[in-house]
Amino acid sequence: MNKFLFPVYAIIIGVGIAFLTKNKKTIGTKLLLSFSGAFLLALTLFDLLPEVYEHLDAKRTGLFIMCGILLQIILEFFSKGAEHGHVHINKTDTQFPWLLFISLCIHSFLEGFPIHQHNDMVYGVFIHKIPIAVLITAFLLQSRFTKAQIVGFLVVFAAMTPLGTFISNNVSFTAQYIDVINAIVIGIFLHISTTILFESGEGHKFNLSKLVVICLGILIAYFI
């Protein structure tokens, strides 16, 4: 099985869950989102961050990571936080959400660059994309967009991460900049995952469940 296609499988799984639950945000989806945030953050710290610091000057690495954080903040200005589970679509609006679509595609395209056959970042992206796909699909289904628009949105969104991976692994021009791009992606991952983790839960019971799945995500990432 080609690891590079895992992000596509994540979208398919997310769409399936959205059709089964018929709910825009269940407790299970929230817990999966928390698990994905912890898992992605842990893999970034355990796998991607040491690799980038090994190849780049420390201060430059920190600068590019900060650029990634700022870039994600800019993207979220247009997506309204869809990358970490906040999807806001006006149910009465029939105009296609181009700003949301473009910002999500840029985010997905960039997160494909750190994925290589020898590393485990694909699993972090895979887990991260499932709850996001659930929430995006649920909101799209509740909107007044046509079926063609919804399918087109999801297909292009699913294709962007493998496209980023393909370019990073096969285009020679990107080879000399891959560590810089990966440092920027680290900033993106740090912003998204910490935003997910620091969002408050609803009630003490949910907070305890959230803590358990966060610890589980970190533990699995450590031993993967």
131-166 pLDDT tens trace: 889 888 888 888 778 889 889 999 999 999 999 999
What per-residue confidence (pLDDT) applies to 25? 58
Query: What's the whole-model pTM score?
Result: 0.88
Query: What is the DSSP secondary structure assignment for residue 176, as one 8-state letter?
Result: T
> What confidence score (pLDDT) does residue 202 get?
55
* Cβ neighbours of 103 (radius 10 Å): 21
The structure tokens listed for 178 are 């891959």
- What lies within 8 Å, CB to CB, of 95 at 6+ separation is none
Residue that is written with structure tokens 């590019």 in the block: 64
Provide the pLDDT for residue 90.
61
Which pLDDT value is given to residue 204? 47
Structural domain total, the chain: 1
DSSP conformation class of 143: S
Q: What is the pLDDT of residue 112?
A: 92
Residue whose entry in the numeric block shows the structure tokens 């309204």 = 80
Q: DSSP of 68-131, one letter per residue? A: HHHHHHHHHHHHSSGGGT-----TT--S--HHHHHHHHHHHHHHTTT--TTSSHHHHHHHHHHH
Best CA proximity match to 89, nearest among 26, 24, 176, 164: 24
Mean pLDDT of the chain: 86
pLDDT of 118 reads: 65
Mean pLDDT of residues grouped by 10 in the chain (224 residues)? 83 90 69 91 93 90 96 88 66 75 93 83 92 87 84 94 92 86 95 84 66 93 89
Domain that holds residue 75: 3-223
